[in-house]
Amino acid sequence: MADLEPDGITAQTTDEGLVSATRHGARDLTQGPITRTLIAFMLPALGSSVLQALNGSINTIWIGRLLGEDALAATSNATTVMFLMLSFVFGFGMASTILIGQAFGRRDIDGARRTIGTAFAAFGVVAIILSAIGWLFAPQILHALATPASIVPLALAYLRVIFIGLPAALMLTMLMMALRGSGDSLTPLYFMALSVVLDSGLNPFLINGIGPFPRMGIAGSATATMIANYAALAALIATVYLRDLPLRLRRGELAYLRPSPAILRTIVGKGLPMGLQMIAVSASAMTMFSLVNRQGVATTAAFGVALQLWTYVQMPAMAVGAAVSTMVAQNIGANQWDRVGRVTRSGVLITLSITGVMVVLLALADQAVLALFLGSDSPAMPIARHIQLLGTWGYLLFGVTMVLFGTMRANGAVVVPLLILAFGLLPVRLGFASIMQHYIGADALWLSLPVASLSNLALATIYYLRGTWKRQSMIAS
């Protein structure tokens, strides 16, 4: 192939990077048994998601036990802000992952390096700007969130430290996703584990001022998160170079840190709709909470616990969807379209199997699991059992939809999946919950998720089977 022009995406084929990738844990996802390869690639990504969720749960326990309910409420407001930030990075990171995956599929290591150079430099600058703006306008952000006045000082102290650590959090997420695009899902798992150990381990020391550490209260929890993210990011970058992983930039390749307009247009143009999918999920969840809150404190508590459990139930579907997207991207890059449909079918079967087992186990052991969050005599216990019984099975449908979306976005089809998801989660889900409450009461709230999932799956299946998504392209014109 011809050498890459400054703003192009095709590049000279190199085998050195592929050998390095295989030697250091990356996988060639265009070869070998599809199901076995997909499972082996997906499991570390699932492990990273579980560790991230556990980290949040552990930190919540530390804050709740050491600082009380006001501090918990304060961190919830900051978490909402961080979710919005990470939603956009998810979209841009996913677009970068797909570009890198396609480059690896066509044996174009130089093209992959150009993509990571553009993504890391451009969004590093954006992250720093967002960090500065967030720190300056944190009071206004909290006011916009209608944060209760009694917890504003706590929320402000926490949020400002979180914004200082924002660049590390965003760039760590993007670099981990880029490595997965190269077929390496193990290295991100190791450094997610490092971040979790540091974060959850430092929390009590910095909150209470144990040993040589200063007593920082709620800001100590945010500081632990900041330290963990910066340390993990620095260690991951060092590892990329020490192990000579294929995405490292050396000598003349450092010029790739000057963003390529063509690659940047692709990342922004394709990444923005993917980020907006996460915003749609967030908007739907926040609106549902406003409906649930009208049912009373016990119902709100029960719904909150159900959401905690659903976080874990949906993880396999998210992990399989992301793994399918990367694997399909590599096969599209290698022009092996015969494997694309087989990867999708394997992803659907894996998702149904794992999620199905989790749904059944939760149904059989719901009382024991819910008792971890609620006392066995809590008035919220029977409500929580009823909620999860009606709503949890919807994640089977959700999982299949995520696999179909993962396949389609690997070829650049991102707008229609966004419209499908937004339609299902907003007018369908919220409309069903609002209207059907008059006929079946609060059960309409819990059934709204399966109804929305069924709508999303039906529309996603129609779009997938029509095949028009195959005429899309990740590369910007």
Q: Average pLDDT of the chain?
A: 85
User: Phi-psi category of 236—alpha, beta or left, where left has phi over 0 and alpha has psi -120 to 50?
Assistant: alpha
Each residue of 42-75: pLDDT tens digit?
A: 999 899 888 888 887 787 778 777 877 677 666 7
Amino acid (one-letter) located at 33:
P
Backbone φ and ψ of 3, nearest 5°: -65, 150
Rounded distance between C-alpha atoms, residue 435 and residue 457, angstroms: 22
The two tokens of residue 331 are 């096969």
pLDDT at 300: 74
Ranges of the chain with pLDDT below 70:
1-26, 69, 72-74, 76-77, 80, 88, 145-146, 289, 372-376, 475-477
**What does the pLDDT read at residue 235?**
96
**CA 16, CA 18: separation in Å to the nearest integer?**
5
Could you please report the per-residue DSSP string of 395-424? HHHHHHHHHHHHHHHTTT--HHHHHHHHHI
Cβ pair 402, 318 in contact under 8 A: yes
474 phi and psi angles, rounded to 5 deg: -75, -25
Q: Three-state SS for 75?
A: helix
Structure tokens at 285: 């969840």
CA distance 115 to 96: 7
Q: What is the pLDDT of residues 353-379, one digit of tens each?
A: 999 998 898 888 878 877 766 666 778
pLDDT at residue number 409: 92
Which two tokens mark 36? 């076995």
The predicted structure's pLDDT at residue 49 = 85
This prediction has a pTM of: 0.83
pLDDT score, position 21 = 47
